[in-house]
Chains A and B, each alone.
Chain A
Amino acid sequence: MRSTLAILIVLAFAINACDESEDLFKRNYPRVVTGQVKDISVSGATFTASFFLRGDEPITNYGFVWSRDGSGKSIVGTAINFEGNVNVNFSAELKQTLEKDRFYSVRSFVKTQGHTVYGEERIFSLNK
């Protein structure tokens, strides 16, 4: 009786210790996160990006779309486009004269054969 109880208690704690894999957020396509805009200066800035979950689809293009319109509503802008696959964090340098008191926006993006995925928009300016 005691051994049965002990086995059950150990089993209960063992099951409790098991961790389930998180499959709710999984997708085949990659999901990209726009990172902080670094090194902001009059002569440009550095955009960064990472993956929330990489997914299985191979990436054909990746990069950033930036715009002088800092409203945060548009994905239209000038693209910094790289060809090829990427599996880890990526970044790009913006070599463009930035104006004081103007807000700029940037989004990361990745393209696969089937999907184009944009990260959330980040607003930046020389003032910050």
Chain B
Amino acid sequence: MPRPFHFAFAFLLILSSTNHLHAQTDFRDGFIVTLSNDTIRGQVRYQNDKKAFRRCSFRKNEKIEDYDPWQIKGYGFDGDKRFVTGRVDSAFVEVLVEGPLTLYSYTDKFFLQKGSEIEPLEAKFRMIRTDAGMFKQKDETWKRTLYRMVSDCNLSLPNQSKITFTEPTITKIVVKYNQCKDTSFVVYKSKKNWASLKMGAVIEANHDLFFKGVNYTAQNLPSIDYAGGVVFVLGLPRINESVALQAEILLGKSRYSIRETSEMEPNTYVSDISLSHRNVVIPLSFRYTFAPSKLSNVFHVGVVYYNINNPHATEVTEIANGNTIMFVGKQSFYANNFMGGGWVAWGLSKPVGPAQASMIVRYSLLSPPAERGIFSPVMQRLSFSFIITKR
């Protein structure tokens, strides 16, 4: 297996194992409703996947108990999701809107309840037989069911052909209906936005690594560069709290110091190569935070672009023969105006008061800062970043 695939495989393995670990530990403030209608407060395991419909893990006084749908009437999280039983056999369903017209979600289906009438909404395909053969057709029954259930209110609804089988669309129609009925209703998760854009700050320290050359000794002198700037995080918390698109704009300064030494008896040639530049760095990444509500692992995968300003590329060479030194002089060489590449990062993220603080380690593979032999075609950069955004 080629080396990059080993890396990708290891990355995915770590990702999946850590995901499992955090699914086990992401308990949030919430409650369960017992069969005798008692509400018991505690902490409930937060699950973004289908497991949320099958089982509820409830923690109280450090004791965790699992509940199947027939053991309780429902469970929920403070200011967030609410699940109830009794609508689907042996399963919890998520309550999206509760009122004269109630909307539930279950796996890839929705249910509408008005009084004692419960209607499923399902986007499925049906097979149509014609003279030309069998073909698949979208079953639009759900649209007719939805419009029929709200038909006793004079709502201005879009044409049926224009609506889509998505949670935001159906929720919006159900909310309109309940508003029209002028009685109280609850929209769960209403405090959670569909989309959120958060701004923050980032500060980082970088260390560059080069591959060694073949015919000479290249010594990367220790150098640490710094960068800082702003970060923007675009998330879709209603759909998935863990995934976000992150864009950063950093101002940085990089310096590469390399001593190249070659022996040609009786002389030793020494070249000190120094390249420094100021840069505007734009890293873009997908961010995955396992449990955003607590200390958790965070992973990034992304690309980065460096716009380089005012590069100073200098090479100073001397030839030594014992104690006699011939100073050849100082020369400039051409440096690139941009660099680009990909990066992955791992770190820890934790809510701190109103902020979300993250400490991450980035590993970047970048194009070289100069097309000169001493700079390998692929440069490695290790960065330690501290990122703080609004929670």
Are A and B genuine complex partners?
yes
Residues of chain A at the chain B interface (Cβ within 8 Å): 1, 4-5, 8-9, 11-13, 15-16, 18, 20, 22, 24-25, 29, 31-33, 52, 75, 114-120
Task: Say what secondary structure dominates the interface of chain A.
Answer: mixed
Q: Is the Cβ of A12 less than 8 Å from the Cβ of B229?
A: yes
Q: Do B228 and A25 touch across chains, with their CB atoms under 8 A apart?
A: no
> Which of chain A's residues has its CB closest to B352's CB?
A4
User: A4 — which chain B residues lie within 8 A by C-beta?
Assistant: 201, 355, 388
The reply to whether B253 and A16 contact each other, CB–CB distance below 8 Å, is yes
| CB neighbours of B221 from chain A (8 A) | 24
- Closest A residue to B317 using CB positions: A120
Mask, B248-271, CB within 8 Å of A = 1, is 001111010101000000000000
Q: How far is the CA of A20 from the CA of B251 in the complex (A)?
A: 16
14 A-B pairs with CB atoms under 8 Å apart are A4-B388, A8-B228, A9-B228, A9-B230, A12-B203, A12-B228, A16-B252, A22-B274, A25-B274, A33-B327, A33-B330, A117-B326, A119-B327, A120-B328
- With known contacts A22-B274, A24-B221, A1–B390 Cβ distance under 8 A: yes
Contact present for B355 and A116 (CB under 8 Å): no
| A114, B320: Cα distance in complex, Å | 13
In the bound complex, how far is the Cα of B114 from the Cα of A9, in angstroms? 54
Is B316 interfacial (CB 8 A cutoff)?
A: yes
B interface residues with partner A (beta carbon < 8 Å): 199-203, 221, 223, 226-230, 250-253, 255, 257, 259, 272, 274, 278, 316, 318, 323-330, 353-355, 388, 390
Is A52 within 8 A of B354, CB to CB? no
Task: Decide: A11 near B228, CB < 8 A? Known: A5-B200, A5-B388, A16-B252.
Answer: yes
Contacts of A32 in B (CB 8 A): 327
Give bound CA distance, A9 to B340, whole Å: 24
Complex Cα gap A25–B278 (Å): 20
Residues in A whose Cβ lies below 8 Å from that of B325: 29, 31, 115-118
Cβ-closest 6 pairs across A and B: A12-B228, A8-B201, A15-B226, A24-B257, A117-B325, A31-B327
Would A9 and B201 count as touching, CB distance under 8 A? Answer: yes
Partner pick for A116 among B226, B323, B390, CB 8 A cutoff: B323
Interface of B is mostly: strand
* Nearest CB of B to A57, in Å: 11
Task: Please give the distance in Å from B139's CB to the nearest CB on chain A.
Answer: 49
Contact status B228-A75, CB under 8 Å: no
A18 to B316, CA, bound (A): 24
Give complex CA distance A11, B323 in Å: 46
Q: Which residues of A contact B324 (CB under 8 A)?
A: 115-118
A51 → chain B closest CB, angstroms:
10
- Given A1-B355, A25-B272, A116-B325, the answer on whether A12 and B251 have CB atoms closer than 8 Å is yes
Chain A residues lying within 8 Å of B253, measured Cβ to Cβ, are: 16
Contact between B327 and A11, CB atoms less than 8 A apart: no
Q: Which residues of B contact A75 (CB under 8 A)?
A: 326
In the bound complex, residues from chain A placing their C-beta under 8 Å from that of B353 are 1
The residue of chain A having its C-beta at the shortest distance from the C-beta of B256 within the complex is A24
Bound together, the chains give a CA A33 to CA B316 distance in angstroms of 12
Give the CA-CA distance A24 to B218 in the complex, in Å.
13
Given A9-B229, A115-B325: 17 more A-B contacts, CB < 8 Å: A1-B390, A5-B201, A8-B201, A8-B203, A9-B201, A11-B203, A12-B202, A12-B229, A13-B251, A16-B252, A24-B274, A25-B274, A32-B327, A33-B327, A114-B323, A118-B326, A120-B327
The chain A residue sitting closest to B228, CB to CB, is A12
The answer to whether A31 touches B318 (Cβ under 8 A) is yes
Partner of A13, one of B202, B228, B327, B390: B228
Residues of A within 8 A of B203 (CB): 8, 11-12, 15
Cβ distance B337 to chain A, nearest Cβ, rounded Å: 19
B257 / chain A contacts, CB cutoff of 8 Å: 24
Chain A residue at minimum C-beta to C-beta distance from B314: A25
Say yes or no: B327 contacts A52, CB within 8 Å. yes
The residue in chain B whose Cβ has the minimal distance to the Cβ of A31 is B327
Task: State the Cβ distance, B257 to closest chain A Cβ, in Å.
Answer: 4
CA distance A36 to B178 in the complex (A): 90
- Closest A-chain residue to B326, C-beta based? A118
Shortest Cβ distance from residue A49 to the other chain B in the assembled complex, whole angstroms: 11
Write the chain A residue with the least CB distance to B226.
A15
Q: Whole-angstrom distance between the alpha carbons of A18 and B227 in the complex?
A: 11
Q: Nearest-CB distance from B296 to chain A (Å)?
A: 20
Alpha-carbon distance A16/B230, docked complex (angstroms): 14
Complex contact B316–A25 (CB within 8 A)? yes
Residues in B with CB closer than 8 Å to A29 are: 325
A5 to B202, CA, bound (A): 9
Chain A's nearest CB lies how many Å from the CB of B310? 13
Give the CA-CA distance A15 to B227 in the complex, in Å: 7
Cβ–Cβ contact A15 & B274, under 8 A: no
In the complex with contacts A9-B201, A12-B202, A12-B203, A1-B354 CB distance below 8 A: yes
